[in-house]
Amino acid sequence: MRQFKLFSGLSVLGFVCLFSAAAFAQDGKMYPIEAPKEPGAIPLNTGGVENQPAKESWFRQWGDPMARNITAATLTPFLADPKKANGTSVIVAPGGGFMWLSMGNEGWEVAEALQAKGINAFVLKYRLQPTLDKLEDFEGQMNQRFADAAKPADDKAPPKRPSWDLSNQLADVEAAYALINSKSKEWNVDMKKIGMMGFSAGAGLTMHTTLNSKKVKLAFIAPIYGGMGPVAVPKDAPPLFVAIAVDDFLFNGETGLIKSWYDAKVPVELHLYQNGGHGFGLGNPDRTSNKWFDAYIHWLDVNGFLKR
């Protein structure tokens, strides 16, 4: 059983996630689990999802709790201890191909790590594309999504990543940002020091927000193991931090994203690791990518975001 400190000074007991390594085997098989309690989760009231007959459900894979068929977006604050808080905040967007969310590995655990550094973290549980109701049927959809993303490049061009309508997801980010803004004094948030971090599909959502939203003003962004293709950089683009492993199927030797930021003369930092694969979260044993979070905190510090 894990305890989460969501709001400053409040220890929330009984967070029934049922996903610890001690309780379950760490393997790739999908196991259905009951939806965990999410104390502190705030509904964003951004609407539902069209053509979604299935209800939200949860499963475990590789020891990680994952949610799918999400039709009601929420935001869960992990507020830093006021004695350590520096006013900097990060919206955390888990990944999962826009079909599921890796809530533990790329959400709550990351938020706790940021919180321990005096940074307010906000885990965004955003709406997803509909998936088949039965878990075994969904597994086929999940594997196909990975296969589509990993299609090899030809000799002339990098692979084209699938693109989807992200209007629901962008609306969820914008609602989260507006909620944080409305609670900024109560939550000790400096709106000039708010950034966004996303993993895999969450990295794609982070980039989509940066490139398209007129309502969200981010001070810094960190797409972690997301797409690396070139983009049109906005004039007011924030500093960019990227971490990805060479053996990630999304890498394929592509660094167009970095060159786009470099050509736009906006601060950019790339950490390209020898190994780590895809979906390493805060880290896997014996991989060079395990130190990326320390590098990220150092990057925030050097850029002045951790000053109280």
DSSP per-residue letters across 200-265: THHHHHHHHHHHH-SS---S-EEEES---------TTPPPEEEEEETT-TTTTT--HHHHHHHHTT
> First CA to last CA across the chain, in angstroms?
33
Residue 190 pLDDT:
97
Q: Is pLDDT above 50 for 262?
A: yes
Q: Where are the domains positioned within the chain?
A: 2-302
pLDDT band at 240 (very low <50, low <70, confident <90, very high): very high
Q: Is pLDDT above 90 for 187?
A: yes
Residue 193 token pair: 């020091």
Residue 26 pLDDT:
60
Residue 248 token pair: 């990630």
Residue 137 pLDDT:
83
Query: Is 88 in contact with 306 (CB distance < 8 Å)?
Result: yes
**Average pLDDT value for residue range 214-235:** 97
% the chain with pLDDT above 90? 76
pLDDT (tens digit per residue) in 103-154: 999 999 999 999 999 999 999 999 999 998 889 888 888 788 777 777 655 5
% the chain with pLDDT above 70? 87
Tell me how far CA of residue 230 lies from CA of 177, 209, 245, in angstroms: 26, 16, 18
pLDDT band at 101 (very low <50, low <70, confident <90, very high): very high
Q: Tell me the sheet residues that pair with 74.
A: 43, 125
Residue 8 pLDDT:
38
Look up the CATH number of domain 2-302: 3.40.50.1820
pLDDT band at 2 (very low <50, low <70, confident <90, very high): very low
pLDDT band at 285 (very low <50, low <70, confident <90, very high): confident
pLDDT (tens digit per residue) in 33-72: 999 999 999 999 999 999 888 899 999 998 899 999 999 9
Q: Which of residues 28 and 264 earns the better pLDDT score?
A: 264
Residue 45 pLDDT:
97
The mean pLDDT value of the chain amounts to: 88
